[in-house]
Amino acid sequence: MRAIEIREPGGPEVLTLTTRDKPAHGETELLIKIAAAGVNRPDCLQRQGAYPPPPGASDIPGLEIAGEIEAVGASVDGFKPGDQVCALVAGGGYAEYCTVDQANALLAPAALTMTEAAAIPETFFTVWHNVFQRGGLKSGETFLVHGGTSGIGTTAIQLAKSFGATVLATAGSEAKCTAMRELGADVAINYRETDFVEAVKEATGGKGVDLILDMVGGDYITRNYQAAAVEGRIVQIAFLRGRKAEADFALLMTKRLTHTGSTLRARDVAFKAEIARELRKHVWPLLSERKVLPVMDSIFPLDQASAAHRRMEDGDHIGKIVLDMS
């Protein structure tokens, strides 16, 4: 099969098209002929040598795929060859074939194209776990997401609105703010022109927001504490501005805040399976009716994976970047 490998740690140019053996599937696994694979920022970190795959995972980058099942393991129940699926994988997505445990795969919504289906797993699994399971977002609450035009951000805006929250989101241009409003954000904040803390307080009558999803870190940590309401929650999923910072922890105490965080890639099959079950129940009906959709920024052929990473890292994208295997 064709696949992309990381020749050595470095820039996008180290992504190299190569030939690998087709992977062998296990007893509970599906062998998927990949139609499309999502590109995510963790893939860029892996390419740089900063985010190695967990033990036992493929060294080929790529965390989300969509395609057709070619073969199933002897203990697989509920899937059959020919089914179109999307799946969250721990690695191996930038290739023509990949294996995944059946518990981490879902039938692709029939209303979506394969490239759209490939844009679902990493972002929807991440948002569902961190916003709804870990963050506990409820209808009627206020929710702030930083990086509102990223794959995570566009997904978080749509799902939070669908489940009854008031949504605030930050981005770095007026064009991106317009895109966030079109997705349903009640308040779009251009952080290059406006202090998001002041904008949040103005929008909430000084109360602050109930939940913040942050992928920025650095100096945003104390500012998130300032923007949060009393008994507010902050969920950390990345550190684009650095994982070390000075923070005013007095606010953590006086506001009785909860600051938590998580990573998803290294969690076991059973953990991800529970997220998949909840997505199937609560989110798949929305996708099937196209009430919620992955926002598609751009599609690249497999041999242009380097260009896809450059697009990711230039910061101008709105929504998802996908590799097409055809």
Full set of structural domains in the chain with CATH: 2-120+265-324 (3.90.180.10), 124-261 (3.90.180.10)
Read out DSSP for 48-103?
HTSSPPPTTS-SS--SEEEEEEEEE-TT--S--TT-EEEEE-SS--SBSEEEEEGG
> Exposed, middle or buried: residue 16 (CB in 10 Å: 0-12, 13-18, 19+)?
middle
**Distance separating alpha carbons of residues 83 and 61, to the nearest angstrom:** 24
**Distance separating alpha carbons of residues 157 and 160, to the nearest angstrom:** 5
**Distance separating alpha carbons of residues 115 and 321, to the nearest angstrom:** 9
8 Å CB contact between 297 and 39: no
Q: What is the helix (H) or strand (E) element at residue 41, kind and residue range? A: helix 41-48
CA 115 to chain centre: 15
The tens digit of pLDDT for each residue in 93-135 reads 999 999 999 999 999 999 999 999 999 999 999 999 999 999 9
The tens digit of pLDDT for each residue in 147-189 reads 999 999 999 999 999 999 999 999 999 999 999 999 999 999 9
Paired sense of beta strands 258-261 and 228-236, if any = parallel
Query: Exposed e or buried b for every residue in 303-313, given b needs 16+ CB within 10 A?
Result: ebbbebbebbe
Q: What is the helix (H) or strand (E) element at residue 5, kind and residue range? A: strand 2-6
Paired sense of beta strands 29-39 and 320-324, if any = antiparallel
pLDDT one digit per residue (tens) for the chain, 326 residues: 999 999 999 999 999 999 999 999 999 999 999 999 999 999 999 999 999 999 999 999 999 999 999 999 999 999 999 999 999 999 999 999 999 999 999 999 999 999 999 999 999 999 999 999 999 999 999 999 999 999 999 999 999 999 999 999 999 999 999 999 999 999 999 999 999 999 999 999 999 999 999 999 999 999 999 999 999 999 999 998 889 888 889 999 999 999 999 999 999 999 999 999 999 999 999 999 999 999 999 999 999 999 999 999 999 999 999 999 98
Distances (CA, A) of 203 to 5, 168, 216, 251: 46, 9, 21, 20
The one-letter code for the residue type at 135 is G
Output the CA torsion sign for 60, 62, 68, 71: positive
Tally DSSP H helices, then E strands, for the chain.
Answer: 11, 15
Paired sense of beta strands 320-324 and 296-301, if any = parallel
Q: Which two tokens stand for residue 302?
A: 């497999």
